[in-house]
Structure 1
């Protein structure tokens, strides 16, 4: 195997035997093969659009299949066998429709005619022989840019899928996904063409995040400032991690009146700020952090654990019976909740377990500072900036991970001067989310904007402030200090770059798939830079 798609990758170059994330060589090869198969489906979909053949079921499936190949989603080989076979079946059915409409189905690129092996073992062997990443392009710089696009598309597909679940779709998003996947199956394009393809991914992702924002706020209301307990409450318990608001809502409905308290973990923390979710009295608090302590925390949780849309690490046998997955998430030998979203097995397991036997107070944190809330006090913020009560804004967020070096983000926030404000989002905030930083003029200095996809909210806040000060976003007293782990972080970075935002600090290490020449392009055009050795060094550079 060869996989270098995440920040944790072995030796900072690539995993070759087993993924640091726990992904086996077989699963890695199946993910590569599924990506290859979707390229074939996309090649046909592109030809279909030329003659008016557009199949929403194909579009939705393609997004889901691409999403399934994110670093930390699906680790079940049997599920990948189904994905691959369905992809080829849909491709061939679409060919028939395109041909009937007078379109071209004599496509030269190999993915368009790929035939899957009959057995799981055969598919795994096909995936290994494919050596997908190394064969993307013979030119290492073009291969690097293709990887950026592939990983960006995976993040885009994830947000498009999240949005579609809540009824928000835009055909232009699916069109780009197909066109980009098809383009990545070809060789011989210029460096400039691949840079443009990657930046287009970021541009389209802004639309996808807008759709998801509309789905979330249209269904559950705009987040409002909410105090979330970090302690525990006597009673049975279910812990929900991942990103999916709809799964959380359905679980809350199905657990009403059953004496079960619902806790969030990781990126589900911001859900406490949504009016239509917080109305459930048994939606109680937040448990644990994110990556760095979860191997210790999860086995100690005295209830059932539900993973939605993203996994973290494979559960140990000692508590595997308490773990359930839903959506695209899957592990071998772990119970999966199907599309009917009947959470009865989760509920029954929670009722059978001890739960919490006493109340514990571990303080609380504030969430709910999306764009509506922040822009609602924009006049106070602007006045504070003009009065020099607020000197600078820092957006400190992104993905968290277990690799050493992420204490930088904790130290950075701790060292930010008291006349500066910090916006944060995504699971990177769990390095510092419980810090008591006080306020400026009644506005908390640490504002939790939400999940990773709520980068849309952060962008809208920045654009609104730039408009108020009649300047460009790059001229605001605003610095972005971002951590990254996997493909959602990649596509958000591409979105920021597509908007022309410069001087972003990225860490804790730069992506292994970016070559020196490609990094030079990013530095020259966008002034991207790695975080410094210490937080103090970056703060001194930024603030002078």
Structure 2
């Protein structure tokens, strides 16, 4: 059985995984994910049409973003989970279809036939049949029909929707929603389900995806900060403490909070991992004494790090790799994450995780203490913006570099370590997402009390970096592109795609992207991005640094 997937940076040979996903995704799951996206296009046709008649449905809205998020890289690898998802999609399709047709009748209109004419819903109880249907809606079919540019732009929109849906899902879990986000997701899926438009129109829709992603990140920022407080500068421990242990990876703050409440007083130390590192800076999380710090580094090192971790492991949202047998009995998933034969936690009942932690030896002694600075989200940086502006005007801060994004295992990412090392001492580094693990344990010092490395947080905290840039541009009475600011971005999966689209929507120019360019962006589309925005692949550290400082 073949597959075709080119949605992540580490795709095989830089062009597409055709036998088995580099991420660990097999062709069966790849096919089911393709079919899930197809189902979402059909559901969105009805939802978009119904919304034009004044009818919306909360269940359809939330299901759409959850199902879309489930197809993002490193979230769910379980074929049975996708069968259940498609079974639920069948119910949603029927519900929103009925709502649309009822609205048409009430308004004296003739309902359109909005089906995509592959009766996937008739096969939801037959897993093999679903896999076969998924093979009929593969990206390869559209590549043959429409070519690289049009298909690539369609997929650019879809991958932006996947990243947007991740942020919207996190936000709605924390009570933050905006119907405009749901409306656009349905509009965009409806758009890519139809005969494709030209490159210019498709590019405009991709940039609109970036605009709505900015709103989704704003919602998530509000959800995180209203629930857990604004992150504050914190010296976070990154070496182990003696005692029983649980490590939490992924992105979900609520999962961590609920776990902290349930482990209080049980003699278990809780560690963050990967993108959860910034959680140690939120006041309502750091007040738990048994949240003792961060363990390990970025997601791609988890198989080694989890193998060595003497406790239980909880994976929230994405960034899961195939678990080793050595720790498969003590790793757990929650939310939308799934792996075959790994126990899943429902309804925030972390009893099995706690029991597994108590059954493990834990760390037998304290490691030598080491701490790193975190917690420099937009609220913190804006509070010292006047000092920063004064230092720039005095010539003591010459330039700002945003060096961050996704990390990964593919060769070439040492570029980001070397770049950070070679940034001059009179420059400040902003960083976010797991790309910061390439250099965040190095010593960079400060410039008159302003740390030379400012960790803005998770990947969604690109919102913070944007707010910081906007605040500085107002302080200097200039456009963001006129600031002494360079963006050196790394990408891996679809949240990074959504963030890039947001930055392009905002008109940010001359960004550098690496370590390689997306396989779904063909040369003609790349030329458009280069001409309009000056987007360029990373080159050598010396050349890129010289260009930024020129």
Q: What SS does the corresponding residue of 1:32 show, helix, strand or coil?
A: helix
2: CA distance, partners of 1:176 / 1:129:
27
1:362-398 CA-partner distances (Å, limit 9, x unpaired): 4111110011110111111000000000000000000
The answer on 1:426 being equivalent to 2:446 is no
The answer on 1:284 being equivalent to 2:286 is no
State the shift of 1:105 in Å.
Answer: 4.0
Q: Alignment partner for residue 229 of structure 2, among 209, 221, 230?
A: 221
2:364 match:
357
* Cα distance, 1:38–1:90 mapped onto 2, change above 3 Å: same
1: CA distance, partners of 2:250 / 2:404:
17
1: CA distance, partners of 2:240 / 2:178:
41
2: CA distance, partners of 1:92 / 1:249:
36
* Cα distance, 1:304–1:111 mapped onto 2, change above 3 Å: farther
User: TM-score, normalized by length of structure 2?
Assistant: 0.97
1:27-84 CA-partner distances (Å, limit 9, x unpaired): 0000000000011100000111122210011100000000000011000000000111
* Cα distance, 1:310–1:319 mapped onto 2, change above 3 Å: same
2:461 match:
454
2: CA distance, partners of 1:528 / 1:351:
50
1:116-169 CA-partner distances (Å, limit 9, x unpaired): 423111111111122235426513211111011010000000000010000000
User: TM-score, normalized by length of structure 1?
Assistant: 0.98
State the shift of 1:312 in Å.
Answer: 2.8
1:59 match:
61
Please tell me whether the aligned partners of residues 109 and 186 of structure 1 are also in contact (alpha carbons under 8 angstroms). Answer: no
- Specify every segment of 5 or more residues in structure 1 that has no aligned partner in the other structure, as ranges: none
2: CA distance, partners of 1:383 / 1:188:
51
1: CA distance, partners of 2:231 / 2:397:
24
2:18 match:
16
State the shift of 1:190 in Å.
Answer: 1.9
2:79 match:
77
Q: What SS does the corresponding residue of 2:146 show, helix, strand or coil?
A: coil
- 1:178-193 correspondence runs (5 A): 178-193=186-201
The answer on 1:95 being equivalent to 2:87 is no
1:47 match:
49
State the shift of 1:314 in Å.
Answer: 1.0
Q: What SS does the corresponding residue of 1:414 show, helix, strand or coil?
A: helix
- 1:49-198 correspondence runs (5 A): 49-102=51-104, 105-110=111-116, 114-117=120-123, 118-135=125-142, 138-198=146-206
Please tell me whether the aligned partners of residues 95 and 105 of structure 1 are also in contact (alpha carbons under 8 angstroms). Answer: no
2:38 match:
36
Q: Alignment partner for residue 256 of structure 2, among 222, 232, 248?
A: 248
Please tell me whether the aligned partners of residues 74 and 311 of structure 1 are also in contact (alpha carbons under 8 angstroms). Answer: no
The answer on 1:265 being equivalent to 2:273 is yes
- 1:136-535 correspondence runs (5 A): 138-338=146-346, 340-532=347-539, 534-535=540-541
State the shift of 1:95 in Å.
Answer: 1.2
- Specify every segment of 5 or more residues in structure 2 that has no aligned partner in the other structure, as ranges: none
1:167-192 CA-partner distances (Å, limit 9, x unpaired): 00000000000000011011141222
* Equivalent residues, number: 542
Q: Tell me whether 399-408 or 105-114 shows the greater mean CA deviation.
A: 105-114
